[in-house]
A = this chain, B = another copy of it.
Amino acid sequence: MTRDGGPGATGVDPEQLWLSAGQSRRGRRPAFSREAITAAAVALADAEGLEAVTMRRVAAQVGAGVMSLYSYASDKETLLELMVDHVSGELPASVALSGDWRADLKAVAHDQRDLMLRHPWLPAALSTRRSLGPNTLAFLERALAALRPTGLDGTAKLEVFAQLTAFVAGHVAHEVLQAAAVRSPDRVAAEARYLATVAADGHHPELAEALAAPARALTPEATFTRFLNRLIDGLGTD
């Protein structure tokens, strides 16, 4: 059951998740690892989408019984949080900062976008959850460092980071949706027919004109960069 930001969504206790005691010498030796299980779940999500990540399929992937997973993640929600932090480990946590905070912040955003394109389920996962795991925090640390020259106070810096992440996630979610749609030409054709019908009804003149106008094919990358630049260049001008 996927969480969705509705009332009652509380998340997982970060203390218990990320600060759990280290290895215990007593008892049966673990046959698997949190790392391996998380990686399997991520691979599944990458290949077939978030909905393919079921406890049974993850267990099968890893060669474990289903209930064994619960020794490593007390919850499916916890597993999802682990997945988010796991892929965040791909983000470059330490990169030389240029001192030009706008440029540095743009680099941060591009890194985030690249990550989300590699893991298209990430925007959806983030829209309901926010990780406070070590990898996420390491990346946050870098972003805060990039923002140091702005002289913003702590709250403002955290806010900028949150907004930036939300912006990137929103953009990539749309980009991914677009890309998925394009991969099924029947759908595209059906949608085009439908929109043409709507445009022809006379009640949508602007839409009709917009659809009629020639489409300069702009890469998603270029679109992203333009909007990102607009957002960031505007920062600190008030």
A interface residue numbers (CB < 8 A to B)? 1-11, 13-15, 18-19, 45, 47-52, 120-121, 123-124, 127-130, 132, 137, 140-141, 144-145, 148, 153-159, 162-163, 165-171, 173-174, 176-177, 180-181, 184, 187, 190-191, 193-195, 197-198, 203-207, 209-216, 218, 223, 226-227, 229-231, 233-235, 237-238
Contact = CB atoms under 8 A, between A and B. Distances in A.
Contacts of A127: 123-124, 127, 169-170, 173
A206 to B, nearest CB: 4
**Cβ-closest 8 pairs across A and B:** A6-B49, A154-B213, A230-B234, A166-B170, A170-B170, A154-B210, A144-B206, A4-B50
Nearest to A213: B154
Contacts of A173: 5, 127-128, 166, 169
Nearest to A17: B194
A119 B60 CA distance: 38
